[in-house]
A and B are shown apart, each in its own frame.
Chain A
Amino acid sequence: MSSLPLADLFDLFLRFLMLSLLSIGGAMSTAPEMHRFLVAERGWLDDADFTTAIALAQAAPGPNVLFVPVLGFQVAGVVGAAAALVGILLPSTLLSLGVSRWGAQRRDTPAVRAFTAGLAPVSVGLVFATGWLLSLPFIAAPDHRLGALALIAATMAVTLKTRLAPIWMIVVGATVGGLGWV
């Protein structure tokens, strides 16, 4: 964590502002471009820093976009974290607010109804794909495969059959994982 010159900090902020409008499907889709900028072009971070930022954001609670402020933090401390987070969110947030208000006024027109109807199956397919990709490491690793698959299945059953808050399932997962059962 070095203290970055103000000009470089502003440069990082501008880069992330531009990436924000390209982050269709989430900030993670711009991770390769951030890697190119921070690691290859500027040399502010190395590969291990970059991977750690993504792993931490996925392990910690909250949206995965938080890997972006972690990258900023690694580059320039708390100020870097703030610059990266505001940069990656401001343009996309303003655009989304505008588009969702525009769409809400035209909710009953055939074009907007067709838009949500046509996208819904794609969204459902994407959520299944995410579930599959998240399960894949547990299916691929032979260690504790049965325990992990049982935990995934139990979580699904509890979610579908009860109204239990997810935090309790997470606590159970962390406990059995910490004991080395999954």
Chain B
Amino acid sequence: MTPATPDHPRPHSPWHLFIAFTVLALQGFGGVLAVAQRELVDRRRWMTREEFVDAYSVAQLLPGPNVVNLSLMLGDRFFGWRGAFAAISGMLLAPLVLVIVLAASYNQLASFPAVAGALRGMGAVAAGLILAMALKMLGTLRRNALGPLLCALLGLTTLVAVTVFRAPLAWVVIGLGTAGWCLARWRIARREGARP
């Protein structure tokens, strides 16, 4: 992967990772993934868009929350297990304290209509962030070994399977992921066979 250059900076220490992941986790209302892509790729530039998609794809297929697996991989890449621990702790610690405090005071909060309205507004922003992130990820497929047609086919099948048929996620990822893997092996083998 890309070495540290001025264009591709890296965190100074596990502590720096911990702070960065705390900051991004605390912005993640309704999901952290879109904020993670924004902070790690667009703003801090610790990963490229392609690296983010790769790491996310692997995180997706492994058991466990995707964003926790993603933090783990990024932290491990920079500082080994200390980095992994720092990134996961940053991702979880502050939000955990907040959500437990919320759970303990939930019954008093729920009676205010302004609170319900604010949650709705935050939900709409969360949806917009995710859709914008999807559009950015789309650009990374341009250099994919599968080629545009197979990429579109796999992506659209995934979208329809999840939104229209509500297929269980594990089936979608394992089924379509295996199909994608076989197709990509075939394309890479053919391309590299053409120029020995």
> Which residues of A come within 8 Å of B, CB atoms?
20-27, 29, 52-53, 56-66, 69-70, 73-74, 78, 81, 85, 89, 91-93, 95-97, 99-101, 103-104, 107, 110-111, 113-135, 137-138, 148, 151-156, 159-160, 163, 165-167, 169-170, 172-182
Please indicate the chain A residues that have their CB under 8 angstroms from the CB of B59 in the complex.
96
Please indicate the chain B residues that have their CB under 8 angstroms from the CB of A178 in the complex.
114-115, 117-118, 121
Please indicate the chain B residues that have their CB under 8 angstroms from the CB of A53 in the complex.
103
Nearest B residue to A123, CB-CB = B57
Is B135 part of the contact surface with A, judged by Cβ < 8 Å? yes
Nearest B residue to A174, CB-CB = B118
> Can you give 23 A-B contacts (C-beta < 8 A)?
A26-B65, A26-B66, A26-B169, A56-B103, A61-B98, A62-B91, A62-B92, A62-B96, A63-B28, A63-B31, A70-B103, A81-B100, A95-B64, A100-B73, A118-B181, A119-B181, A122-B177, A125-B158, A134-B123, A156-B132, A159-B132, A175-B121, A178-B117
- B90-121 with Cβ < 8 A to chain A: 91-92, 94-96, 98-100, 102-104, 106, 113-115, 117-121
Does B181 lie within 8 Å of A115, measured CB to CB? Answer: yes
Please indicate the chain B residues that have their CB under 8 angstroms from the CB of A85 in the complex.
92, 96
Please indicate the chain A residues that have their CB under 8 angstroms from the CB of B15 in the complex.
none
Is B128 part of the contact surface with A, judged by Cβ < 8 Å? yes
> Which residues of B come within 8 Å of A, CB atoms?
1, 25-35, 38-39, 42-43, 53-54, 56-69, 72-73, 76-77, 81, 84, 88, 91-92, 94-96, 98-100, 102-104, 106, 113-115, 117-138, 140-141, 144-146, 150-159, 162-163, 168-170, 172-174, 176-177, 179-185, 187-189, 192
Partner of A107, one of B1, B43, B65, B187: B1
Does A120 lie within 8 Å of B158, measured CB to CB? Answer: no
How far apart are A109's CB and chain B's nearest CB, in angstroms? 10
Does A24 lie within 8 Å of B131, measured CB to CB? Answer: no
Apart from A73-B100, A96-B72: 5 A-B pairs, beta carbons within 8 A: A25-B66, A97-B84, A100-B72, A120-B54, A127-B134
How far apart are A37's CB and chain B's nearest CB, in angstroms? 17
How far apart are A97's CB and chain B's nearest CB, in angstroms? 6
Please indicate the chain A residues that have their CB under 8 angstroms from the CB of B156 in the complex.
125
Does A25 lie within 8 Å of B127, measured CB to CB? Answer: no
Does B64 lie within 8 Å of A96, measured CB to CB? Answer: yes
Please provide the 10 A-B residue pairs with the shortest distance between their CB atoms, ordered closest to farther. Answer: A177-B121, A62-B95, A155-B128, A92-B64, A125-B158, A118-B180, A25-B169, A173-B125, A159-B132, A118-B184
Partner of A110, one of B42, B158, B185: B185
Question: Complex Cα distance A31/B124, Å?
Answer: 24
Instruction: Take A56-B102, A170-B125 as given contacts and tell me if A114 and B64 are in contact as well, using a CB distance cutoff of 8 Å.
Output: no
Please indicate the chain A residues that have their CB under 8 angstroms from the CB of B176 in the complex.
122, 125
Does B99 lie within 8 Å of A155, measured CB to CB? Answer: no
Please indicate the chain A residues that have their CB under 8 angstroms from the CB of B42 in the complex.
163
Partner of A137, one of B123, B150, B170, B182: B123
Nearest A residue to B71, CB-CB = A63
Please indicate the chain A residues that have their CB under 8 angstroms from the CB of B185 in the complex.
110-111, 114, 118
Nearest B residue to A67, CB-CB = B99
Please indicate the chain A residues that have their CB under 8 angstroms from the CB of B103 in the complex.
52-53, 56, 70, 73-74
How far apart are B67's CB and chain A's nearest CB, in angstroms? 5
How far apart are B74's CB and chain A's nearest CB, in angstroms? 10
